[in-house]
Structure 1
């Protein structure tokens, strides 16, 4: 799927169940026509929702607190702000645009997740870092520039660390 705004992980072999669960979940949150797609990567699905993906994550966080049994096959939900073709020039342009929301006194880290690509992580990081004039903090950044390469397409977000939802971690906290 070219225009996704959520990446969701699940256990290998559970992709179909996770896709059904995600579609039902998005519908229950108010999206009448979510598009959920399997990818060529085991354990990874993408979705296009008409809802704000950041709000979806906040609402799923609440569901886990109040009705944890509703989430059984989803492991992580990752909001995606822009999707481009997997080439350094397009990735670079979007990183430059999205990173403008990082305050001047804030720190950042670049996180790369690569699947089914020959792009080099070091090349992506080097190119992206040149576009961001902020301090780097690899251990405890204020912001994360997340670059998710999934074959021919790359999802990019500039997010705070708590804007990725790890369902397993949240369920352990309960």
Structure 2
């Protein structure tokens, strides 16, 4: 698995290689000829390192789905990662607090999400350690930002992002279809 990654990507079981090919092809289309991706040792999960800003990568993927809802066949979900650290609770908390101080504005609400895979770390401990040190209000239902921790083995990815920055391909397809139908209905009415 890559030690430094800035994308966590979900795919279908036993389609990890197809997902990596699809990522590589899309990255090339965006002008990133240096994308590196690898399996994680877990079914359905891939990590990648793009030379582009990971949030821009996700935004461009969302635009691609808007243009062509079936462009992605194997990628199911893309999550941008801003910092990778060793899967040590202190390093994770420090990275989360650094990112929060620069990316979480006063008055914005947040929630902490932690996904732990192939590690003895406890989700509850990570959430408690981070949430207790951020002074903004917590909103578990509709936060302005998510403090996201993705632990995979001995590495952890950390991000502070709006919920919309996590791209579910299927949800984006449904939203694109709904917008298209709404547009067609407005065209018929005028």
TMscore range, shorter length: over 0.9
Answer with 1 or 2: which has the greater Rg. Answer: 2
1: distance between equivalents of 2:66 and 2:93? 38
The answer to whether the 8 A contact 1:95-1:131 is kept is: no
TM-score by length of 1: 0.97
Q: Which residue of 2 aligns with 1:157?
A: 159
Q: Which residue of 1 aligns with 2:57?
A: 56
Q: How many residues of Structure 1 are paired with residues of Structure 2 in the alignment? A: 174
Q: Secondary structure, in 3 states, of the residue corresponding to 2:150?
A: strand
Structure 1: gaps (5+ residues): none
Q: Which residue of 2 aligns with 1:86?
A: 87
1: distance between equivalents of 2:15 and 2:32? 23
Q: 1:170 aligns with which of 166, 169, 172?
A: 172
C-alpha RMSD of matched pairs (Å) = 0.9
TM-score by length of 2: 0.89
Does residue 33 (structure 1) correspond to residue 54 (structure 2)? The answer is: no
Q: Which residue of 1 aligns with 2:187?
A: none
The answer to whether the 8 A contact 1:117-1:152 is kept is: yes
Q: Describe the superposition over 1:83-129 as per-residue Cα deviations: whole angstroms up to 9, x where unpaired.
A: 01111110011011000121111110001111111111111111111
1: distance between equivalents of 2:116 and 2:79? 14
Where has structure 1 moved over 4 Å in runs of 4 or more?
Answer: none
1:1-174 equivalence runs, <5 A: 1-100=2-101, 101-173=103-175, 174=177
